[in-house]
Amino acid sequence: MSLPAIHPAVDEKSGKTCPVTGRSHEYQPPAAGDVRSVCPAINTMANHGYIRRDGKGITPYAMYSGLKACYGLSTPLAIVLTTGGWLLIKRLGRINLFELGLHNGVEHDASVVHADCPPGQKDAPIAIEPQLVDEFASEIVKTASASVGRELAETEVVVTGHDIVRTRIRREKLSKPLDAMHAEIARGEMAIILGVWQKTVEGKEGIPLPWMRTWLGTERLPEGWRPDHVQTLRDVVKRSGAMRAEMKKIREGEAETARSQ
């Protein structure tokens, strides 16, 4: 039903309902004039209406609340992510999501699905690279298939912490070295989503690969998914530390192999 002419304008981009279907937190990709960031997790929040769907005028409180509601993050974790994000891009108050792409703020090279920031540019590309999404999935399928001795379909594969470690090593080999802070951010991003989505599938713990492909490729939540537990800061720190230790061990092994050849 259309509003009467005397009714004040309604901002359809500010609420949780989809402006097309009217359903709560329904997925709706960005429309003309909307803005997005370099972060799939945050763009997904906008696409589902956990923050403003146009990606504009986002307050720290809106981001904090959206992280808790969308992903089930604990209060301390949501505070750390929100405060850290605003501090690293040197902003106060409202932001547009594009501002999170300030190079070497929150953003970093060696992203899983985005190209590196071109030399001399202030802002990193926000376009998803379909080839990188395909490489992410195909490498994980290849590893999983080798472990069972047969070719697996993506629907049979889960993404484990070990897969994320291998992905981070592979991507970082193709970029300039990350400093310690941005290497930690890169690990932490994936440690968070592992903690949020990891479940047991046929005796193996991980995230269903189709969920990750959908999230990374279209910035969309798994169909029908809602948080079923609180994801804590402590768990993220623990997971990230384990990833750092495994990456170090693999790199040391590769260096030893190279020296012996």
- Could you give the domains of the chain? 40-260 (1.10.489.10)
Length of the chain: 261
Confidence of residue 202 (pLDDT cuts 50, 70, 90): confident
pLDDT reading at 6 higher than 60: no
Write the CB contacts of 182 (distance below 8 Å, at least 6 apart in sequence): 104, 108, 109
Render pLDDT for 107-116 as a digit per residue (tens, 0 to 9).
Answer: 999 999 999 9
Question: 237, 232, 231, 230: which is closest to 188 by C-alpha?
Answer: 237
What are the CB-based long-range contacts (under 8 Å, 24+) for 139-146?
A: 139/163, 139/166, 139/167, 139/170, 140/167, 140/209, 141/209
Amino acid identity of residue 21, one-letter, is T
Rg (CA), the chain: 19
> Which residues are paired to 123 by β-bridges?
102
pTM of the model: 0.89
> How high is the mean pLDDT of the chain?
92
